[in-house]
Amino acid sequence: MIPDYKLYHGAVLVDIVDKVDGSVTFCERIDRGRLLNYVINDRVGLQVKYSKARLRPWIFSFPEAHLDHLRDLLSDYPTTFVVLVCHTDGLVCISASELLPFLASANGGQAWLRVSRRKREMYRLFGPQGEFGPKLRITSDPIVAALREVTDVSRPVLEGETERLFTS
């Protein structure tokens, strides 16, 4: 049986590979055996969260350890995104630098996000501070755009990372 995280993470990674011209590399950043974060083309950070709920709203929890991993990823890669996979409905892509302050208001409790979408509409994102900015599209396009914009700086693989090469 294929573990759920492989299906949901795979959907995100394949979507990126499909949209990027040329080859794409993913370095996985594993902490305590849990695969949550990736580095794409040594330039862009990515954290993937998923909800197995079939119907909206989709709820995503962010334990403090996941927030710490996201902060670390953002400090190493200023261009970092969080992708929320809403079962098979689609995915939401948000800049980590915009999302972290929004999640910080959880007042010591576990941070969370709720994603909702009506038929044929864009996603709406809610969290501890209420609704998050503008409505969001079903796309990984912000990541693809960032991969095109960020200049190529060679960097050695950091501790805890292993490299996997996927080409489109």
pLDDT digits (tens, 9 = 90+) for 74-107: 999 999 999 999 999 999 999 999 999 988 765 6
Taking the domains of the chain in order of start, what are their residue ranges?
Answer: 4-149
The CATH class of 4-149 is alpha beta
pLDDT value at position 119?
Answer: 86
pLDDT value at position 39?
Answer: 97
CA distance 17 to 14: 5
pLDDT tens digits, 20-53: 988 899 999 987 767 899 999 999 999 999 999 9
Other beta carbons less than 10 A from residue 69's beta carbon? 20
Task: Please tell me the least confidently modeled range out of 39-43, 80-84, 130-134, 163-167.
Answer: 163-167
